[in-house]
Amino acid sequence: MKTDLEIQKDVLEALKWEPFLSATEVGVAVKNGVVTLSGTVDSYLKKTGAEKAAKKVAGVKAVAEDIEVKFAGSLIKNDSEIAQTIINALKWHSAINEEKIKVKVEDGIVTLDGEVDWEFQKTSAAMQIENLIGVKRIVNNITIKAGLVSKELKQKVNAAFHRSATVDAEKINIDINGSKVTLSGKVRSWAEKNDAENAVWSAPGVNKVENNIDIESEVFTF
């Protein structure tokens, strides 16, 4: 089982392998398996990329992200310019009907609202704009249109688990309430917990996931 020092070293190594990040941009602190990321970057993509990289490291219980996004003077845009750039970006995305998505920008913080048919459309909308200049943070309030009844939805979620190479379906309990899925049980790592949630989102009709899965391994400190 990893110590906090070993986890910190592994997270720093993981960040070095991210081509868009500089080793000096993000600081890493670890306490009881909880990783805190700090520093200043020049794009929202770097901010989310650092968080994703840290979450993939074995032994990480949770990630507290305290990275600030700041832009150089020549790259600063007003909210109106950012909003127009976002709308244009969504128009060119074949999987997204931009007419179903409403965009609000306030001080570089983007809020997305609307309703789509699939989780990947919700995720794609955010991914399409996270590297745009001026975007400091994205609040994704897009909802998923309800579709399947509970019994059929549970079958779809189970099938998604069994297709996943990284999820041990036997250790995860699934509770369905309408279009909300609640997960419980125990897995081997934070990455597996995250993969289980992603597998649920691949099932049609899911509009909310409550991930109560615990991580089996314990992290000891010196």
State pLDDT tens for residues 92-119: 877 777 788 999 999 999 999 998 877 7
- The answer as to whether 197 is a domain residue is yes
- 162 in the same domain as 112: no
- The answer as to whether 55 is a domain residue is yes
Q: Is pLDDT of 184 > 50? A: yes
Three-state SS for 83? helix
Full domain range(s) for residue 11? 4-69
- The answer as to whether 221 is a domain residue is no
Among 210, 207, 177, 176, smallest CA distance to 196 is for: 210
The CATH code of the domain that includes 180 is: 3.30.1340.30
- The answer as to whether 220 is a domain residue is no
pLDDT of the residue at 220: 43
Q: Average pLDDT in the 148-172 region?
A: 77
Kindly report the number of other CB atoms within 10 A of residue 157's CB atom.
26
- 8 in the same domain as 43: yes
Q: Is pLDDT of 65 > 70? A: yes
Show Cβ contacts of residue 5 under 8 Å, excluding neighbours closer than 6 positions: 30, 222
- 38 in the same domain as 94: no
Stretch among 59-63, 64-68, 131-135, 215-219 having the lowest mean pLDDT: 215-219
Token duo for residue 203: 């099932």
The CATH code of the domain that includes 81 is: 3.30.1340
pTM of the model: 0.58
Q: Of 54, 69, 84, which one is at a domain's C-terminal end?
A: 69
